[in-house]
Amino acid sequence: MDKRILIPTDFSKNALNAARYAIDLYAKVHCEFYFLNIFRLENYTTNTLILPEPGSAEYETAKVASEEGFVKFLDILKLHQDNPRHRYHTISTVNFLSEAMEQTINNKDIDLVVMGTQGATGAKGVIFGSNTVNAMEKIRQCPVMAIPEKVRFMEPKEIVFPTNFLTGYKRKLLNYMLEIAKMHSSSIRVVYVTKSETISDEQEQNKQLLQDILEYVDHSFHMLSEKKVAEGLTSFVESRDSDMIAFINKKHFLFNSIFSKPLVKEIGYDAKIPILALNAP
């Protein structure tokens, strides 16, 4: 069965880099890639209630510019890698990004969203732009993977999975991480950052469930005694030169406590590895 991957793009270097990473990550898999570009209308503002209709001069001019951007974008990607397992599709729309992404995910039965951490107008010093943060917080139908601008693809040999063992694990939700691990013979390192050296009976039970789910991939469990999750996770990743972070993103829970903007600033300006948000309802 084909993997269906959505990649929003504004034709920036960061978006191009994210696309290249996704293409290489799934090089051995039959994939349908859907590239989504939101084109802008110069005279339209958020105060305008009515969008120009398709067929109007302004609309058609902006759409043509988007389509021309895709021609250049795809030419660069095909020079990078022309994989017979992959097929590319382009979508140009004037919709808001969040709504366009939701529609595409639903209409195309998307399995994964891959996006750069910054767009063409990204502010220096900020790793995760608002579009990436919003996608990780709001998209619940599928995982979202964020690719930092300076990342160049290397097979992920080690995936770090931070958790607190306070939630029951669903095999279906973790399958996205397991697929990547199996494709690239990756090891999964489960990291629990805690002030206490003991865990409750409930946590022990959840840990055992997780161990059962990870049975067929190389994995290990690590307990770090740190005051802050950000510091413990960062030191672990840097000391081991890990290749990816994957985490369960329960709505209004883990994202805010582990991958909020303040944490991203703590990790540092030079983020070096992709982050996979396994979005749970």
Q: Say which amino acid occupies 36.
A: L
In a domain, 152, yes or no: no
User: Which of 104, 95, 89 is CA-nearest to residue 54?
Assistant: 95
224 and 276 in a single domain? The answer is yes
155-193: string of b/e by CB count within 10 Å (b at 16+)?
A: ebebbbbbbbbebebeeebbebbbebbeebebbbbbbbb
DSSP state of 10: -
Last residue of a domain, one of 87, 118, 147: 147
pLDDT of the chain along its 281 residues, tens only?
589 999 999 998 889 999 999 999 999 999 999 999 988 766 555 555 566 667 677 778 888 888 899 999 998 887 667 788 999 999 998 878 888 999 999 999 999 999 987 654 444 444 455 677 677 777 888 999 989 888 899 999 999 998 889 888 999 999 999 999 999 999 999 999 887 778 899 999 999 999 999 999 999 999 988 767 777 888 899 899 999 999 887 765 444 455 554 444 444 444 678 989 888 76
CA 132 to CA 271: how far, in whole Å?
A: 14
Q: Could you tell me the pTM of the whole model?
A: 0.86
Range of the domain at 44: 3-147
CA 243 to CA 155: how far, in whole Å?
A: 8
CA 116 vs. chain centroid, Å, equals 8
39 and 136 in a single domain? The answer is yes
Sheet bearing 31-38, strands edge to edge: 86-93, 31-38, 3-8, 112-116, 144-147, 275-280, 244-250, 158-162, 187-194, 219-225
70 and 194 in a single domain? The answer is no
